[in-house]
């Protein structure tokens, strides 16, 4: 009897939660909130990630050819990178502050795995064939998100040169993939509804890149930070035009694409809010935290409801 199929985009759940945790960790480092909330969210993320890994391994170990099929799937395969990126953040933000050596080792392990996975996926897309209409913003995940998150994590554990290399990886892949993905979105038919939430990922490269740059550059506002923010503002503005389409969507695991993307935007805004030192910046911090927590919490509550109703996972697998 075949085991229930576990789609790779289910790893977006823990990725979204670690994004929310990052917002609270950032606010805690700025002295606005207690560290306890961020640490609790990191612990919750670890539990969800481990559970997802366990369910996925059970699926692929009991379903012949499932793992290879997932890696060769030109729609869902990019989400596999989240299984490696999430624990890298957990190691740098949750473990390294308390156990520096263990945190650094785990960051390095998952960084290497992320780079290897990014290289494999890039080779697979070249080897193909890959149809343009199958392209979607989730293709940013293995190399762009992977590179920027690796840069942030490496910088946080004191590996500056490695962080610089990972930042370069993220930037180069963003420029290359970004042009192709945007051309597909501009000139080809709209994405099917199950992939519509991935459009939120368009906000992620400038936001996650900004967080990585702040980690590398000592939390300073300069021309690079401003340039990243400028592009980020355009992508946030684009989401407003996409809102009518989003509101027509039903809930699915892909809904979690909204969570990390918006959490990254909020984390970047928290950095700008603190460094720009506007009047009322503490109030702005609390408002931002309340908004992103309510948003991600709502997605999490809807996920729990779907699990209770047995509606979360694909049927007929």
Contact 253, 304 (CB under 8 A): no
- Report pLDDT digits (tens) over 225-277: 999 999 999 999 999 999 999 999 999 999 999 999 999 999 999 999 999 98
* Mean pLDDT for all residues in the chain: 95
d(CA 219, CA 225): 10
Output Rg (C-alpha) for the chain, integer angstroms: 19
pLDDT in tens, 155-190: 999 999 999 999 999 999 999 999 999 999 999 999
What are the C-alpha distances in Å from 263 to residues 71, 113, 181, 221, 255?
27, 24, 22, 20, 14
20 φ, ψ (degrees, to nearest 5): -65, -45
* Token pair of 189 as six digits: 């038919």
Instruction: Residue 99: count other Cβ atoms within 10 Å of its Cβ.
Output: 13
Cβ proximity of 281 and 39 under 8 Å:
no
Structure-token pair, residue 166: 């990972």
* Global confidence as pTM: 0.95
Q: What is the largest CA-CA distance in the chain?
A: 62
């Amino acid at each position: 009897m075949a085991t229930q199929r576990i789609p790779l985009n289910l790893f977006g759940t823990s990725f979204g939660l670690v994004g929310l945790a990052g917002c609270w960790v950032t606010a805690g480092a700025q002295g606005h909130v207690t560290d306890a909330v961020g640490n609790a969210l990191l612990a919750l993320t670890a539990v969800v990630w481990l559970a997802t890994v366990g369910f996925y391994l059970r699926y692929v170990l009991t379903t012949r050819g499932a793992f290879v099929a997932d890696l060769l799937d030109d729609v869902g395969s990019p989400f596999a990178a989240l299984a490696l990126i999430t624990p890298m953040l957990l190691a740098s933000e949750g473990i390294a502050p308390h156990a520096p050596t263990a945190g650094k080792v785990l960051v390095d392990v998952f960084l290497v795995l992320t780079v290897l996975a990014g290289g494999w996926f890039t080779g697979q897309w070249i080897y193909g064939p890959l149809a343009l209409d199958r392209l979607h913003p989730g293709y940013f995940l293995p190399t762009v998100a992977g590179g920027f998150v690796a840069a942030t994590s490496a910088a946080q554990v004191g590996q500056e040169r490695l962080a610089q290399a990972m930042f370069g990886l993220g930037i180069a892949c963003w420029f290359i993939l970004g042009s192709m993905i945007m051309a597909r979105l501009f000139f080809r038919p709209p994405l099917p509804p199950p992939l519509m939430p991935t459009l939120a990922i368009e906000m992620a490269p400038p936001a996650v890149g900004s967080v990585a740059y702040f980690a590398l550059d000592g939390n300073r506002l300069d021309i690079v930070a401003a340039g990243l923010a400028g592009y980020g503002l355009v992508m946030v503005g684009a989401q407003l035009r996409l809102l009518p389409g989003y509101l027509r969507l039903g809930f699915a695991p892909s809904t979690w694409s909204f969570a990390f993307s918006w959490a990254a935007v909020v984390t970047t805004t928290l950095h700008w809010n603190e460094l720009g030192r506007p009047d009322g910046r503490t109030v702005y911090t609390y408002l931002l935290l309340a908004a992103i927590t309510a948003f991600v919490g709502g997605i999490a509550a809807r996920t729990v409801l779907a699990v209770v109703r047995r509606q979360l996972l694909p049927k007929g697998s």
